[in-house]
Amino acid sequence: MAIRTRFTDLCGIEHPIVQGGMMWVGRAELAAAVSNAGGLGILTALTQPTPDDLRREIERCRTMTDKPFGVNLTILPSVNPPPYAQYRKAIIDSGVTIVETAGHKPQEHVDDFKAHGVIVVHKCTAVRHALSAQRMGVDAISIDGFECAGHPGEDDIPGLILIPAAADKLTIPMIASGGFGDGRGLAAALALGADGINMGTRFCATVEAPIHDNVKQFLVDNDERGTNLIFRKFHNTGRVAKNSVSDQVVEISLREGAVFQDIQPLVSGAKGRVALETGDLDAGLVWAGQVQGLIHDIPTCDALIRRIVGDAEAIIRGRLSDMLSVELVAA
């Protein structure tokens, strides 16, 4: 049971399913479990406090899997940016062969990774940005629709339009991100022109995800309406789970004359980490997408990936094929 695509061939993986590089969540336990199940697990570089901590986490992941895994490096504009070049060096020195880049002006990082033979998958939210990354020389694109958790950009284009629009113009492999959580989504993404799917929120609701069980059950209990869009006023839109903190952020942001500093104490990453690790759902933001409406259990990564691939195969070989046969007979 396998679905082979340009992306599985590129990365040497069995199934075209990638685990998103999520802050505080993309640790060795989850990445190794996804890779062992035949997908592509991703460590999140900036979850680790220092580049040396990242080196140790990469080695820890290697003790848990002998399958390919990658590292996410997200570059964001900041007054006091982390030492991106040192994190990049840690990734290269550790012999990591696949990197997911995201964020602001990645050219310097892409060039260095490519010079060291690293496969670069760049995550973006618009066709124009995907084409720019392709010109930079990345090996694959992860295109992120409006349904996603995290930052969907400012264009508000959902996957049903964004994925085929990108497929029409890109020549390199592309995986689809945002709103994926089951076999129907994988089959749809392939039909729309993608070479696989990237899942973040769905992998949070798995046995191996290194977050509190309260958070996992919260994702199961929510539905597709259970998100808030924050930072819209500040042109840095983010989609998060609906809780008391994100409700307050939205309410304050709508006030006349509101500035970012008014909400800054509520949205700190440290508070979000507390929520994930303690299970206190009112401690901070919980980043989650609309795919919550498709999450109904907390399986192992292996069981989840097998189910998704099996269901996608059944749709492609069965339901869609049967419909085509009926149409031909009718004709």
What is the model's pTM?
0.95
Q: Partners of 204 in the beta sheet?
A: none
Mean pLDDT of all residues belonging to the chain: 95
What is the percent of the chain where pLDDT is above 70? 98
Measure the CA–CA gap between 296 and 124, rounded to whole angstroms: 28
Short-list 227, 242, 267, 228, CA closest to 23: 267
Q: 104-108, 117-121, 194-198, 299-303: which range is least confident on average?
A: 104-108
pLDDT at site 329 = 54
Residue 312 DSSP class: H
- 96 three-state secondary structure: coil
CATH entry, 6-212, from 3.40.50.150, 2.60.40.10, 3.20.20.70, 3.40.50.620: 3.20.20.70
Helix residue ranges per DSSP H, 154-241:
159-169, 183-191, 201-204, 213-221
Measure the CA–CA gap between 93 and 19, rounded to whole angstroms: 23
Contact present, 182 and 299 (Cβ < 8 Å): no
What is the mean pLDDT of the segment spanning 255-283? 95
Beta-carbon contacts of 48 under 8 Å, excluding residues fewer than 6 positions away, are 54, 56, 57
pLDDT at site 161 = 98
What is the mean pLDDT of the segment spanning 235-264? 95
Measure the CA–CA gap between 233 and 257, rounded to whole angstroms: 11
Measure the CA–CA gap between 123 and 49, rounded to whole angstroms: 23
Residue 137 has pLDDT above 60, yes or no: yes
Short-list 259, 205, 203, 253, CA closest to 228: 253
Beta-carbon contacts of 139 under 8 Å, excluding residues fewer than 6 positions away, are 10, 119, 120, 121, 172, 173
Greatest Cα-to-Cα distance within the chain, rounded to the nearest angstrom: 66
Tens digit of pLDDT for each residue in 163-193? 999 999 999 999 999 999 999 999 999 999 9
pLDDT bracket for residue 76 (50, 70, 90): confident
Helix residue ranges per DSSP H, 116-182:
127-136, 159-169
Measure the CA–CA gap between 72 and 40, rounded to whole angstroms: 12
Count of CA atoms in the C-beta half-sphere (13 A) of 206 = 26
**Annotated domain spans of the chain:** 6-212, 227-287
